Chain A
Amino acid sequence: MKREVAAEIVDSLKDAGVDFVATLTEANLHDLVMALGEDKAIHHVPVTREEEGIGICAGAYLGGKKPAMVMMNAGFLLSTNALATVCIHPGIPVLLLIGHSGGVGEENAGHATVGAVTEPVLQAMHIVYEKVGRFEDIRPTIRDSQMLARSSRRPTAIVLNKEALR
């Protein structure tokens, strides 16, 4: 991810009211994770496993924070039980920013299956999501996804494609 894209995401998150972010890094997310770590207005919690981050974000919401979770799609797939039991079942919103490995533009054959099942799993879980690649779409999509998460009391997701990640 280019530094200007990372900076735009961080700024858009703050604009949307997000003040608490859990992350699990990956090469494509590195600049975003580092930028979140440096930002004073956002409490940043690097986690060891993505579902842990879902639990931390849900707890932060109960305490009045506006949380988001940054992870790759492999981590989203790992988090499905946590999202179902901790967020969707009781009605707790968390904004999910999901890097999409194995989507269009992917060069690494090893990511193909994870890439192919990501959207069907989001759909199966009834998580409303938007796919984002173009720079100018980042800010309005983060604002609107966060709005829906808060009003619906459910997690919403933004799937960052290769255009955003490279």
Chain B
Amino acid sequence: MKRYDCLRAIAPHFSEDLVVTNLGAVRHEWQALRPHHGNYHLQNLGLTSSMALGLALALPHRQVVAFDGDGSLLLNLGSLATIANQHPKNLIHIVFDNECYESSRGAPTATAGQADLAAVARGCGFANVVRTTTLAEFVDAFVRARKAKDLYFILAKVEPGAGDVPAAALDSQENKYLFVRYIEKSENVKILTSTLSRASEPRPK
């Protein structure tokens, strides 16, 4: 099973879902498959799950999906304990586990050895943990998670390799502004402060 095929298979299920992507090829693959201002491409290895948790807690009525990786989650295993304790019902945490640091030329991660991230998630208190090794299993787990409206951890054991897609054109600042403006509009909230010109103030007599 390849990550790109997983993403391509579930992309039609996304409407206004909010997505946080990990560093690496996954962001380019996802941006090509589902170009949307509700995609946030994190420029940090490790905090994908935590960003997605914050977003899910802030907007409990919106579905949030995290596309994490094994190298990233291994940097932030404690986030699984925090997520399980907070238990946001609107968060699906997907980990594409290719057992290597693919974007760093492929040295093995701990999951190439003894570590089992699904077992870690279960141990941290996730009630819904699915380990998938085929595309059919993965799509089935995703569809079930979305229907359940509950916190899910889906581990996708994938082969290394990136989809043949162009580089996503977004940079971090642009991505942030587009994402925030999209949230402001879709949620009818104000996030970015603005100040009026002094020229708008009444003139002193």
Chain A interface (Cβ < 8 Å from any Cβ of B): 20, 43, 45-49, 51-65, 67, 81-82, 85-86, 89-92, 150-151, 153
Interface contact B173-A52, CB-CB below 8 Å: no
Q: Tell me if B's interface is mostly helix, strand, loop or mixed.
A: helix
Interface contact A59-B58, CB-CB below 8 Å: yes
- B32 interface hit (Cβ, 8 Å): no
Knowing A20-B58, A55-B50, A62-B180 touch, does A86 contact B42 (C-beta < 8 A)? yes
Knowing A55-B50, A59-B55 touch, does A89 contact B43 (C-beta < 8 A)? yes
Interface contact A89-B82, CB-CB below 8 Å: no
Indicate the size class of the contact surface on chain B: 35 or more
Q: Which segment of B93-101, B103-111, B184-192 sits at the interface?
A: B184-192
Interface contact B176-A90, CB-CB below 8 Å: yes
Interface contact B183-A59, CB-CB below 8 Å: no
Closest Cβ neighbor of A60 among chain B residues: B54
Name the residue among A48, A55, A58, A60 with the largest chain B CB count within 10 angstroms: A55
Q: Tally inter-chain residue pairs, CB-CB below 8 A.
A: 125
Complex alpha-carbon distance, A103 and B102, angstroms = 43
Closest Cβ neighbor of B79 among chain A residues: A52
Provide the residues of chain A in CB contact with B50, threshold 8 Å. Answer: 52-56, 59
Interface contact A81-B44, CB-CB below 8 Å: yes
Interface contact A82-B44, CB-CB below 8 Å: yes
Provide the residues of chain A in CB contact with B85, threshold 8 Å. Answer: 46
Task: Sort A-B residue pairs by CB-CB distance and give the 9 closest, nearest first.
Answer: A59-B54, A63-B58, A55-B50, A48-B78, A55-B47, A60-B54, A59-B51, A85-B44, A59-B55
How many whole Å from A42's CB to the nearest CB in chain B?
A: 12
How many whole Å from B173's CB to the nearest CB in chain A?
A: 6
Closest Cβ neighbor of B179 among chain A residues: A62
Extra A-B contacts (9), CB below 8 Å, given A45-B86, A52-B82: A47-B78, A48-B78, A52-B79, A55-B76, A55-B79, A56-B50, A62-B51, A81-B44, A82-B47
Knowing A49-B76, A90-B173 touch, does A62 contact B43 (C-beta < 8 A)? no
